[in-house]
Amino acid sequence: MDKNRFFRAIPKVDTLIEQCDSAGLFDRYGREITVDCIRERTEALREFIGKSEDETEIIRRTESLLPDIASAAEKLFSPNLKPVVNATGTVLHTNLGRALISRKHADHLMAMVSGYSNLEYDLEAGARGERYSHFEKLLCKITGAEAAMAVNNNAAAVMLTLSALCRGGEVPVSRGELVEIGGKFRVPDVMAQSGAVMVDLGTTNKTHLSDYEDAINENTVALLKVHTSNFRVVGFTESVSVAELVELGNKHGLPVIEDIGSGVLIDLSKYGLTYEPTVQESIRAGAAIVCFSGDKLLGGPQAGIIVGRRDYIKKIKKHPLTRAFRIDKFTAAALELTLQEYLSEENAIRNIPVLRMLTQPPMEIRERAEKLAAMLKNVNARVEVVDCESQVGGGSMPLERLRSSAVAIKPNGMTTASFEEALRRAKKPIICRVQEDRALMDMRTVQPGEAELIAAEVTEILGAK
């Protein structure tokens, strides 16, 4: 293949500049940005010609160089981080942003981020206030703890707690709880970073109270318990409860610190879900500090919440890492609004999107799937409503399978893989599951108003029968 012929066919930069100018790109995006895009796209084309043997594709790309430059410029000015439709059925989808904040709170949050606020200003005293004050009382009321604060995420909360309370001292922890959460959060590494000395005890499947007893000495500063959020050990197992640890801790004057992971504030087994220990139960059992995520089962903004005894929280607030991990006004506002919903369990289930999606009756999901299937009855594909299972996600309740319904789409005129890709490239991208060569739209995580959007996009991609 004579590649030089193709290299010569690439328009000169000067020519492209003229063409872009007359196509209005300079007016729209400015000269500098447009010229940058010209350079970048011609360079990409040159590289492609260099390595490709596909003549038709080379010609196609050369011919579409101008629109390619225009779309590169357009892309720079439009958000790359944008809303998507989650049709995977996984409620706490880490790749898709985990928990959703209710639209009910959108106006307040918008006002909070686009205007000034009393974030650190005490309006009654007319003096400096604390950013945690807006939700500390709520957290105490809901969890029964004496004091509370929040940092950027639970990884930071655990790291900060151990740094502030355990640096230089020994902290016994069960080998069955040395979890990796993902994103490089590994309990042994976090402990090492914090300066606490990990004393691992017991075995993978069994840890007895006597293991802790044997590990305690004059260098011990606290007992740590970590919830094994994202995995389960089944069969011949034994672990020590928070209450038992507290009793042991009390005998030796040691606080119990618990990383409970998901931050469940309602007993979800009432709604047919797997039982998960709640924060309230740990506090009631006497844990000195409990750490948990704001955007897992709690259903709020990304945050790491620390609740517990006043003296310890006071010490944590004074630690330099607190400043490094501090939450912003958006988080503080969203946390306050989410926690207010918990003042009534009924409100929480109804108004917190994560809880609403998790407790949705299968019949309702089925009805929504049937509605979407009806909207799609004329598209060029085989469309049917099928039973499926959705997951909780976010490293929570790993064994839970939620009964759900999906619309299964098997396109006629294209492969399922190309269809899935087209959905992903939509203006509001639609992320679905591919199973048995069909695209599945699990309706559990499809939000109000999005079914119409899916119908329009699918019709656009596949056309009518």
Ligand X SMILES: *Cc1c(COP(=O)(O)O)cnc(C)c1O
Q: How many residues of this chain interact with ligand X, rule: CB under 6 A?
A: 15
When binding is defined by CB under 6 A, the residue of 226, 357, 422, 461 that contacts ligand X is 226
What tokens appear for 239 in the block?
């672990």
Whether 248 and 232 have beta carbons less than 8 Å apart is answered as: no
Binding to ligand X by residue 395, rule CB under 6 A? yes
Phi, psi of 451, rounded to the nearest 5 degrees: -60, -45
**Which of 153, 174, 194, 322: binder of ligand X (CB under 6 A)?**
153
> Alpha carbon of 457 to those of 241, 338, 379, 450: distances in Å?
51, 33, 11, 10
Is 299 among the residues that bind ligand X (CB under 6 A)? no
Closest contact distance (angstroms) between CB of 325 and ligand X is: 11
Distance, first Cα to last Cα, the chain: 42
Buried b (16+ CB within 10 A) or exposed e, 354-368: bbbbbbbeeeebbeb
User: Contact 290/258 with Cβ under 8 angstroms?
Assistant: yes
Q: How far is the CB of 158 from ligand X (least distance, A)?
A: 6
Is there binding between residue 185 and ligand X (CB under 6 A)?
yes
Question: Which among 359, 365, 358 is positioned nearest to 451, based on CA atoms?
Answer: 365
Among the listed ranges 46-54, 82-90, 100-108, 257-265, the one in contact with ligand X (CB under 6 A) is 257-265
Q: Applying CB under 6 A, which part among 58-66, 105-113, 149-157, 330-338 lies near ligand X? A: 149-157
Q: At what angle are helices 133-143 and 329-341 packed, to 10 degrees? A: 30
Q: Which range, of 225-233, 241-249, 318-326, 345-353, touches ligand X by CB under 6 A?
A: 225-233
Closest distance of CB 305 from ligand X, Å: 9
CA distance 454 to 85: 8
Coil, helix or strand at residue 439:
strand
Residue 297 binds to ligand X (criterion: CB under 6 A): no
Q: How far is the CB of 181 from ligand X (least distance, A)?
A: 4
Interface segment toward ligand X; rule CB under 6 A; list 17-25, 159-167, 222-230, 246-254: 222-230
CA angle 427, 429, 434 (to 5 degrees): 145
* 155 touching ligand X, by CB under 6 A: yes
**Site membership for ligand X, residue 227 (CB under 6 A):** yes
Nearer to ligand X, 160 or 337 (CB): 160
Give start and end residues of each alpha helix (H) in 115-241: 133-143, 154-166, 187-194, 209-215
In the complex, minimum distance from the CB of residue 395 to ligand X, in angstroms, rounded to a whole number: 5
| Closest approach of ligand X to the CB of residue 153, in Å | 3
C-alpha 465/C-alpha 462 separation (Å) is 9
Considering beta carbons, is residue 49 or 99 the nearer one to ligand X? 99
Q: Taking CB under 6 A as the rule, does residue 293 contact ligand X?
A: yes
Nearest to ligand X by Cβ — which residue? 261
The nearest distance, CB 222 to ligand X, in angstroms, is 16
Residues within the interface to ligand X (CB under 6 A): 153-155, 158, 181, 185, 226-227, 229, 259, 261-262, 293, 304, 395
